Amino acid sequence: MHPQFIHACIFDLDGVLVNTAHYHFLSWKQITLGWNVPFTEHDNELLKGLSREDSLSRLLQITGKQLNAAEREHILQEKNKLFQQYLEQMTPDDVLPGVHDFLIFLKNNNIHLAVASSSKNARIVLQKTELTKWFEVIIDGTQIKKAKPDPEVFLKAAHELGIAPLHTVVFEDAKAGVEAARTGGFYCVGVGDPTMLSQAHQVIPDFTSISFDDWWQSLSDSSTQVVH
């Protein structure tokens, strides 16, 4: 993909723009304490990019815990309640380093911006962190029927922007999100650990470790690459 063909960037929220992954971990950790089963940060990595419902299903696989339908619904509500309590503590300080500078860079290059998140709390997070103003389109878990790795959330964001996937870059920190982006026909930049994001076209550690101008030019190389 050559930079001149990029018209839009779509961002996942948790772990890409803001530091909410730890709040998800603490919420699920509190749930699993009641089950007397271990739940680690590594386990939490396996839930990244999944909806709350799919996260619970994966968590039950990890722990071997069995729940009936009523118990599942109760746990989902409890997890959301715990997570929203953490969200109330969020401030603009929870925006990840380098994000504001990168958004300014993209705006200066006339790039349209959107957020596409499986989280039903995405708008609350954006409001708390004062990021809402940056994005023309926000798609969250309340607006989609299929969570990642289905590409629906990204396709919906691109449709509302009026820009084809071919001309859009997606930023993701989760394996399920990378799969969703690639399935939808998007160029995908993984943000984080390259061993976890090997299917992305390109991987960056974060938004502070790269020169934005160099990154912009690196997009002309379509091979999978890790940018430092």
Q: What is the pLDDT along the chain (228 residues), one digit of tens a residue?
A: 665 689 999 999 999 999 888 898 999 999 999 898 889 988 888 888 788 899 999 999 988 999 999 999 999 999 999 999 999 999 999 999 999 999 999 999 999 999 999 888 999 999 999 999 999 999 999 999 998 999 999 999 999 999 999 999 999 999 999 999 999 999 999 999 999 899 999 999 999 999 999 999 888 665 555 654
Name the nearest CA neighbour of 154 among 140, 133, 175: 140
Burial of 117 (0-12, 13-18, 19+ CB in 10 A): buried
* CA atoms of 190 and 202, how far apart (whole Å): 6
| Residues with catalytic roles | 12, 14
> How many structural domains are present in the chain?
2
CA dihedral 18, 19, 21, 24 (to 10 degrees): -90
The CATH number of residue 49's host domain is 1.10.150.240
Domain range for 38 is 21-87
Residue for token digits 């798609």?
Answer: 139
Residues 82, 28: one domain? yes
Please give the full DSSP string across 50-111, using - where no structure is assigned: --HHHHHHHHHHHH-----HHHHHHHHHHHHHHHHHHHTT--GGGBPTTHHHHHHHHHHTT-
The model carries a pTM of 0.85
β-pair partners for 210: none
Residues 73, 164: one domain? no
Of the candidates 87, 103, 133, which is a domain's last residue?
87
* CA atoms of 151 and 178, how far apart (whole Å): 9
Other residues' Cβ atoms within 10 Å of the Cβ of residue 36? 8
Residues 149, 71: one domain? no
